[in-house]
Every structure is written in C-alpha cells, then in structure tokens.
Amino acid sequence: MRRRYPRPPMAPRHRAALLCLLLAALLLTLFLVAAFHLKSVLSSLAVTRVSNTVNRVVSAAVTDTINSGGIRYNDLITFEKDGQGQITALQTNMAEFNRIQSAIVDDVLTRMSEVSTTDLAIPLGTLTGSALLAGRGPIFRVRMQFVGSSTARFENEFTEAGINQTKHRIILSVDVSVSILLPGFSTYTKVSNDFTVAETVIVGTVPGSYVYFNGNYEEAEDYIMNNAGP
C-alpha cells in the first residue's frame, strides 16, 4: 500500500497568479454581460431622448409660425359664392400651402442641427440587466449624434358643428425621420406630430364641392357625412 504524503502548500506567487486569473475572469464576465445589455439600453434611451427633443423642436417651430401670423385661414382658403351669397365651393391656395410647408421643414431642420449632439448618462448598474441594480452605481456617459429629415403636409377635416354649421379644420402633419449615431452602432426612429393650425365655422348650406389639397374636387357633403366627428 502506497503511503500518501501531504500536498505542499501553494507558493505565494502561484496563489497571487491564481487570484489574478479569477479576478480577470470575473471582470471579463461582467464586461460581456454589460456589453450584451449596453446596445438595447442605449437604443432605448437614445430613442426616448431624441423623440422628446424632436417633439419640442417641432412644437416650437409650428407654434412660433402660428404666433407670428405666418398661418392664417383666409390666406389658405377662399370661398366661392353664388348670387345669393351662399358658399358653393372652397378653394385652396396651393402656393401658400407649399410656402408654409417648406418654411416649417427648414425651421425644424435648422433647430435640430443646433441640438444634434447630446450625452446619455447611464448608471453602470443598469448595464448588468439586474432589476436590483438598475439605476445604481457610477454614471457611464455616452455621446450620441442624430441627423434627420423632415416632411410636412396639410390635411383637412370637416365636422358638424351644430344646426346648419360645419367646422373646417386645417391640420399640419410633420414627420421627422431620425438616424441616431451611437458608439459602435446606430438606430432609427420616426417622430410624427399633428397640429391644428387654422379653422373656421361655415354657417349656411354645405358647400357643393371643395378643392382638396391635391387639387381634386370632391363632394363636400359626402365628405362631411362620412368623416363627421362625434
């Protein structure tokens, strides 16, 4: 029977090397976990931050245009009347519509270029994916940039406003498509906003027709019956 001898204790330098190896493995594991969650966390935060910024920019651009008198109903719509003064048709001023659309788009893009770079502050605990550590730990900052394109279009809405009354509302729809540039990858979002920029109440007989914004004639009475609000 072979006699077993006790194993000699590990040398201090070997123990230190093993400890360093374990520490490196732990750090590597934490890094991989953080990297796994980093992209989704950054994408979510970036989209939220950019969407809020774009909403503020678009709202400010449209509000400033309205407050400055740049959008007036009488400049956009003209009424055609018969010999008795009854409104028979509505006609749009396409040149004015196009001018306003271009001005809004240019203003939005100019304002966006002034705030296109910003920082994202993320607590390191959030990158672990743990609900207990979310929002905790030192702050990790990432700089992002976003570039976008904008389109604007006018829509109209007819609703019943009472006995022998029709409300005509002009709505400006602004869409902003944004590419968000982050370290190592990029993401995309689209922000849409609708604004009522002008409205009036037409008193009297429903006009027989109106010139829609694309230049086509449609029956106003049929439109109102099919699209009347509550």
pLDDT at 102: 92
Query: Is the predicted pLDDT of residue 49 greater than 80, yes or no?
Result: yes
**Residue 57 forms part of a structural domain:** yes
Burial of 180 (0-12, 13-18, 19+ CB in 10 A): buried
**Residue 164 forms part of a structural domain:** yes
> What is the band of 219 on the pLDDT scale with cuts at 50, 70, 90?
very low
pLDDT at 36: 66
**Residue 116 forms part of a structural domain:** yes
Domain region containing 160 = 12-227
Average pLDDT on 2-14 reads: 60
**Residue 2 forms part of a structural domain:** no
Question: Which of 153, 151, 155 is closest to 190 using CA atoms?
Answer: 151
Give the C-alpha separation, 167 to 201, whole Å. Answer: 4
**Residue 129 forms part of a structural domain:** yes
Residue pLDDT, tens place only, 110-140: 998 888 887 777 776 666 666 666 667 777 7
Q: How many domains does the chain have?
A: 1
pLDDT at 8: 58
Dihedral (CA of 78, 83, 84, 88) sign: negative
**Residue 125 forms part of a structural domain:** yes
Average pLDDT on 152-172 reads: 84
**Residue 1 forms part of a structural domain:** no
Most confidently modeled of 21-25, 28-32, 149-153? 149-153
Q: What is the DSSP string of the chain?
A: -PPP-PPPPPPHHHHHHHHHHHHHHHHHHHHHHHHHHHHHHHHHHHHHHHHHHHHHHHHHHHHHHHHTT---HHHHEEEEE-TTS-EEEEEE-HHHHHHHHHHHHHHHHHHHHHT-EEEEEEEGGGGGT-TTTTT-SSEEEEEEEEEEEEEEEEEEEEEEEETTEEEEEEEEEEEEEEEEEETTEEEEEEEEEEEEEEEEEEESSPPSEEE-TTS-EE-HHHHHHHH---
pLDDT at 81: 77
pLDDT at 34: 60
If phi > 0 it is left, if psi is from -120 to 50 it is alpha, else beta; for residue 137 that is left
**Residue 5 forms part of a structural domain:** no
Query: Is the predicted pLDDT of residue 48 greater than 90, yes or no?
Result: no
- Is the pLDDT higher at 112 or at 87? 112
Please report, rounded to a whole number, the percentage of residues in the chain having pLDDT higher than 90. 17
Comparing 86-90, 179-183, 216-220, the range with the smallest average pLDDT is: 216-220
pLDDT at 69: 85
Give the C-alpha separation, 9 to 69, whole Å. Answer: 88
Query: Is the predicted pLDDT of residue 74 greater than 80, yes or no?
Result: yes
The rounded mean pLDDT for the chain is 76
Residue pLDDT, tens place only, 165-211: 888 888 999 999 999 888 778 888 999 999 998 888 887 655 555 54
